[in-house]
A and B are shown apart, each in its own frame.
Chain A
Amino acid sequence: MPDLLAARSQMGMSLGFHIIFAVVGIGMPVLMVVAERRWLATGDEIYHELAQRWGRGTAILFAVGAVSGTVLSFELGLLWPGFMRLAGAIIGMPFSLEGFAFFTEAIFLGIYLYGWGRIPPRAHLLAGVLVAASGALSGIFVVIANAWMNTPAGFEVARGVITHVDPLAAMANPAAFTQTLHMLLAAYAATGLAVAGIHAYLLLRDPSNAFHRRALAIALLVGGPAAVLQPISGDLAARQVARYQPAKLAAMEVVFETERGAPLILGGWPDLDARAVRYAIRIPYGLSLLAFHDPRAEVRGLDGLPRDEWPNVPAVHWSFQFMVALGTYMAMVALWAAWVARGRGRREGGRVLAENRWLMRALVIATPMGFLATEAGWITTELGRQPWVIYGILRTKDAVTPMPGLIVPFVTFTLLYCFLGVIVAWLLYRHIVRSPTVPEELWRVVRTGEWSRKTGDA
Chain B
Amino acid sequence: MTLADILAGVIVAALNAYVLLAGADFGGGVWDLFARGPRARAQRDLITHAIGPVWEANHVWLILALVLLFTCFPPAFAQLSIRLHIPFSLALIGIVLRGSAFAFRSYGGQRDQIQQRWGGVFAAASIVTPFLLGMAVGAVAAGRIGEEGRGGGGGFVSVYVTPWIDPFTIAVGVFALVCFAYLAAVYLTLETTDRALQDDFRRRGLVAGVAVMVTGIVALALSRGARAPLQEGLLGAPWSLPLHVLTGAAAVGALISLWRRRWRWARIAAAGEVSLILWGWALGQYPYLVPPGFTIDNSAAPPITLALAIGAIVLGGVVLFPSLYYLFHVFKGRAATS
Contact = CB atoms under 8 A, between A and B. Distances in A.
B67 A73 contact: yes
Contacts of B302: 89, 165
Contacts of B107: 56-57, 59-60, 427
B52 A114 contact: yes
- Chain B's interface size range is 35 or more
Nearest to B323: A107
Nearest to A83: B78
Contact of B53 (A77, A84, A93, A111): A111
A84 B319 CA distance: 27
B81 A84 contact: yes
B92 A99 contact: no
B13 to A, nearest CB: 14
B305 A165 contact: yes
Interface in A363-396: none
A100 B71 contact: no
Interface stretch (B36-44, B56-64, B165-173, B204-212): B56-64
B237 interface: no
Given A78-B81, A92-B305, A110 B63 contact: no
A16 to B, nearest CB: 15
Contacts of B63: 69-70, 73, 99, 102
Main secondary structure of the interface of B (DSSP, over half): helix
Contacts, number: 216
Given A168-B308, A423-B104, A74 B92 contact: yes
B261 interface: no
A88 B60 contact: no
A74 B73 CA distance: 15
A140 to B, nearest CB: 15
A172 interface: no
Interface in B281-338: 301-302, 304-305, 308-309, 312-313, 315-316, 319-320, 323-324, 326-327, 330-331, 336
B242 interface: no
Contacts of A71: 92, 95-96
A95 interface: yes
Interface residues of A, number: 68
Contact of A102 (B60, B72, B326): B60
Interface in B67-87: 67-68, 70-75, 77-82, 85
Nearest to A428: B108
A431 B106 CA distance: 13
A100 B319 contact: yes
A93 B72 CA distance: 9
B99 interface: yes
B312 A77 contact: no
B246 interface: no
Contacts of B53: 110-111, 113-115
B308 A427 contact: no
Contacts of B73: 88
A167 B308 contact: yes
B160 A403 contact: yes
Contact of B104 (A60, A62, A66, A89): A60
Interface string A326-355: 000000000000000000000000000000
A430 to B, nearest CB: 8
B57 A103 contact: yes
Interface of B: 52-54, 56-57, 59-60, 62-64, 66-68, 70-75, 77-82, 85, 88-89, 92-93, 95-100, 102-104, 106-108, 150-152, 156, 160, 301-302, 304-305, 308-309, 312-313, 315-316, 319-320, 323-324, 326-327, 330-331, 336
27 contacts: A60-B107, A62-B56, A63-B100, A66-B59, A67-B98, A73-B67, A74-B89, A77-B77, A84-B74, A88-B74, A92-B70, A92-B72, A92-B309, A99-B316, A100-B315, A102-B60, A102-B63, A103-B64, A104-B320, A109-B56, A114-B53, A130-B323, A167-B304, A403-B82, A416-B96, A423-B100, A427-B104
Given A70-B96, A89-B71, A427-B104, 6 more contacts: A70-B62, A84-B70, A84-B78, A93-B305, A110-B54, A412-B89
